[in-house]
Amino acid sequence: MAAILPMSGLGMQAATIAVEIGNRLVKLVDQAERGRVRDFREAGVRIRSAPGTGTSARGLGNPGDRATIHRMVVGEMVRCPNGSANSEWFDITNRRTSVSGFVSGCFI
């Protein structure tokens, strides 16, 4: 049987600190990815208008095109070809075609 403890005082402060640490880690990862160049892992990767599979495709990316990463965002969970699940999406620009948009972390 689990006990329910009220969140007050020190408990609330610890929870607030944990949330702030999480937010700062996300910001550090985003800054580390910004400006990096990666390649597309598969042919015909859709570059989307927003971080989700239901959004319109602006263009395609292919191995060898290379993509400049502007930032990482959390979006729709995608099942990757290797069976894993990924909710990271990258705001990118395809260096060959100059098309900008979002690509699931599964494919870049």
| Residue matched to tokens 């930032």 | 71
So what's the pLDDT on residue 16?
Answer: 73
Residue 41 has pLDDT above 80, yes or no: yes
Task: Tell me what the mean pLDDT of segment 32-60 comes to.
Answer: 93
Q: Mean pLDDT throughout 96-101?
A: 98
The alpha carbon of residue 6 and the mean position of all alpha carbons in its chain are separated, in whole angstroms, by 34
- Is 44 a residue whose pLDDT tops 90? yes
Mean pLDDT of 60-69: 97
Tokens (6 digits) for 27: 């910001």
Query: What is the pTM assigned to this prediction?
Result: 0.69
Of the pLDDT bands very low, low, confident and very high (cuts 50, 70, 90), residue 9 is low
Q: Which two tokens stand for residue 60?
A: 């395609």
Token pair listed for 58? 């602006």
- Contact in structure between 82 and 92 (CB atoms under 8 Å): no
Residue 89 has which token pair? 């999406």
Q: Is 54 left (phi over 0), alpha (psi -120 to 50) or beta?
A: alpha
- Residue 17 has a pLDDT of 78
